[in-house]
Amino acid sequence: MGWAKSGLAGLVVVAAVAGCQNKMYDQNKELMEENRQLRDQNDAMRRQQATQTPPPQQAPQQAVVPQTPPQQPVTNQMTAPPPKQPVEQIGGLETNVNRAGETVVQLPSDVFFDSGQATLKQTSKASLDKVVSALKSSKYASKKIRVDGHTDSTPIRVSNWKSNQELSEARAATVKDYLTSKGIPASRITTKGWGDTKPRSTDLSKNRRVEIVLLAQ
C-alpha cells in the first residue's frame, strides 16, 4: 500500500510537470508567432517606405511683374521733308537746287562787278572759266541756261543805269556774253533782269547777285 501511494504521487508530480511544460511551450510558441508577425509588419513598412519617392521640392514662386510694352516714339502727324541731297558746287561757287528742280549757281555782284557797274572784274573771270567747263561737261551740256540779274533795293544815285532794273538786265547780258565767248552756244542761253523784286536775305549784299540757272527741262 505504501508503495502504491508513493507511485501514485510520483505520477501526479510527473503529470503536473508535464502539464506545466506543455503550457510554457504553448506560451513560447504564441510569443514567437507574435514576434514573427511584428517582424513581418516591420519589414513590410520598411519596404513600403523604400518604394515611396518623396515629392520633389518646388522652388518658391516668384512674383510675376507685368511687362510694359515699349513706348513708341511720338511722331508728328506731318511728315518731315527729306533731308536735302548735297549739290555739286559748280566752279567752286555756291550752288543749290530750287523748288522747280533747277540748279542755280550764285555769282555775288560784289565779287564780279564794281558798284553800279555792269563790267566783269578781271579777278572774277577765273571762277567763270570753271563754270564754263562745267556747263560744257556731259552732265550739263544738254541743259538750257537762264542768266538772272538781281540787285538790292537801294536806289541808284551815281551810275550809267537809271534804275536797279536796268542794271540787273545789263549784268545778266554781260555774263551771257562771257559764256558765249568761251564756246557756250548762244541758243542755250536766255537772260532775265529782276531788279530788287527777288531778295534772298535781309543782308543787302546777298541780294546783289547774278544767277546762272540750269533749267530742269
The whole-chain average pLDDT of the chain stands at 82
Q: At what angle do helices 164-181 and 125-136 cross, to 10 degrees?
A: 60
> Residue 98 and residue 84: Cα distance in Å, rounded?
11
- Average pLDDT rounded to a whole number, residues 11-27: 58
- Cβ burial, residue 176 (10 Å; 0-12/13-18/19+): buried
Over pLDDT 90: what percentage of the chain?
A: 54
- 154-204 pLDDT per residue, tens: 998 877 889 999 999 999 999 999 999 999 999 999 999 999 999 999 999
DSSP secondary structure string for all residues of 54-70: PPPPPPPPPPPPPPPPP
Are the C-beta atoms of 108 and 208 separated by less than 8 Å?
yes
pLDDT over 90 at 67, yes or no:
no
C-alpha grid cell for residue 61? 514662386
Residue 13 — pLDDT band, cuts 50, 70, 90?
A: very low
Alpha carbon distance 125, 122 (integer Å):
6
| pLDDT (mean) for 5-9 | 52
Question: For residue 58, what pLDDT is reported?
Answer: 62
Choose between 72 and 144: higher pLDDT. 144
Q: Is the pLDDT of residue 56 over 80?
A: no
Q: Which range is least confidently modeled, 8-22, 111-125, 161-175? A: 8-22
Domain ranges for the chain, please list them. Answer: 1-38, 90-214
- Look up the CATH superfamily of 90-214: OmpA-like domain (3.30.1330.60)
Backbone angles phi, psi at 145, to 5 degrees: -125, 135
Is 150 in contact with 210 (CB distance < 8 Å)?
A: yes
What confidence tier does 122 reach under pLDDT thresholds 50, 70, 90? very high
Residue 147 has pLDDT above 80, yes or no: yes
Strands 209-214 and 189-193 turn out to be unpaired
Residue 124 or residue 55, greater confidence: 124
In this prediction, residue 109 carries a pLDDT of 92
